[in-house]
Amino acid sequence: MEVHKASAFLTVAEELHFGRAAKRLHMAQPPLSRLIRQLEAELEATLFERNTRHVALTPSGEALLEPARELVMLSQRMKDVVRRSQEGEVGQARLGFAGASVNQAVGELARQIRQQRPGISLELYSSQFSHVGLERILDGSLDLVIGRWDFLPAEVDSHLVTHEELLIALPENHRLAGQGAVSAEDLAEEAWIVLPGGASATLPNRLNMLAMWSGFVPRIVQVAPDAWTLVVLVGAEMGISLTLSSVRDNVPSRGVVYRPLVQEQKPVEVRLIWRHGNLSPALRSVIEISETVFAAPAGTTARPAHPHPPNAAER
């Protein structure tokens, strides 16, 4: 049964008068009568007993009332779902993030989406290192990623979430643990524990830059699978690590101390990124909410200052 025929049938059933029903439907009576006859022919049943003075539902017509109402209501719900989708009130977004160091940011964004756009399903994917997350944004398998990148390609847009401080994680009995800050030159002979990284990963880039400026090549002894393991390895005196203030604040670190570097370091930007181009209305809504949840500090831009590696003059 087509929706317009179900609607016509219900109107006639409510009025029990073809003239009044036609007026409600904003159509002439003869077309309405033909529509009901077509419906009866399709269903191979008489729905109304009618003569010049009387219109009444037949048993078949009575039986059709509830299914017809359900069909009309379903049609209305479908229209409402489409409208809400177009307005960014319903839909889904796939968000990737690294783990413990950005858990608070992810949790706050999820809470605000649930409050402001309960019809949007936010699917969370943890353990997405920044370089992996960038790849998944570019190949379309994730819609959004929270992570850290010193450089982003032109295909990606972003919003600043927060700034983080670079720190050196040391075993608590390390020779430099008692200092308020450590000099990069004093770390030249150390064993380093690092996280997985690619060309766009912030921490490997920062470690290589720090070593280059200080005249040494870092001796990497182990690649930890995640920040939790990295902190455990440092506490076990397997080496030291360049890490972030968010790791210090969110990851249990028994036997580990964190010290800033004497040399001033550019803060690490934590960003929410997405692929540039046509966005779904739901994704646009999530990004708009993120801009209120993560209010960018004054003077910052929607994209990093350098979408590509700076040249020597810029350094």
Dump pLDDT digits (tens) for 190-243: 999 998 876 567 888 899 999 999 999 999 999 998 889 999 999 999 999 999
Write out the two tokens for 271: 């960003």
CA-to-CA distance for 290 and 118, rounded, in angstroms?
Answer: 15
> Per mean pLDDT, which range of 38-47, 228-237, 292-301 is the poorest?
292-301
The domain ranges of the chain are 3-86, 90-163+268-293, 166-259
CA-to-CA distance for 89 and 252, rounded, in angstroms?
Answer: 38
Q: Which of 277, 272, 264 is nearest to 294 (CA)?
A: 272
Q: Which of 272, 291, 218, 206 is nearest to 244 (CA)?
A: 206
Span 165-201, pLDDT tens digits: 999 999 999 999 999 999 999 999 999 999 887 656 7
pLDDT of amino acid 309: 39
Q: At what angle do helices 29-43 and 3-15 cross, to 10 degrees?
A: 110
How many other CB atoms sit within 10 Å of the CB of residue 234?
Answer: 26
Span 108-167, pLDDT tens digits: 899 999 999 888 889 999 877 888 899 999 999 999 999 998 888 999 999 999 899 999
* CATH class of the region 3-86: mainly alpha
CA-to-CA distance for 128 and 145, rounded, in angstroms?
Answer: 8
Burial (CB count <10 Å: 0-12, 13-18, 19+), residue 263: middle
The reply to whether 166-259 shares the fold of 90-163+268-293 is: yes
For β-strands 144-148 and 90-97, DSSP reports them as parallel
CATH number of 166-259: 3.40.190.10
CA-to-CA distance for 245 and 86, rounded, in angstroms?
Answer: 40
**Residues in CB range of 130: below 8 A, 6 or more apart:** 98, 145, 147, 148, 149, 200, 201, 202
Q: Using alpha carbons only, how large is the chain's radius of gyration in Å?
A: 32
CA-to-CA distance for 269 and 97, rounded, in angstroms?
Answer: 14
Question: Which sign does the torsion angle of CA 166, 168, 172, 175 carry?
Answer: negative
CA-to-CA distance for 247 and 101, rounded, in angstroms?
Answer: 5
103 φ, ψ (degrees, to nearest 5): -55, -40
Write out the two tokens for 266: 């550019």
pTM for the complete prediction? 0.68
* CATH class of the region 90-163+268-293: alpha beta
C-alpha distance across the termini of the chain, in Å:
71
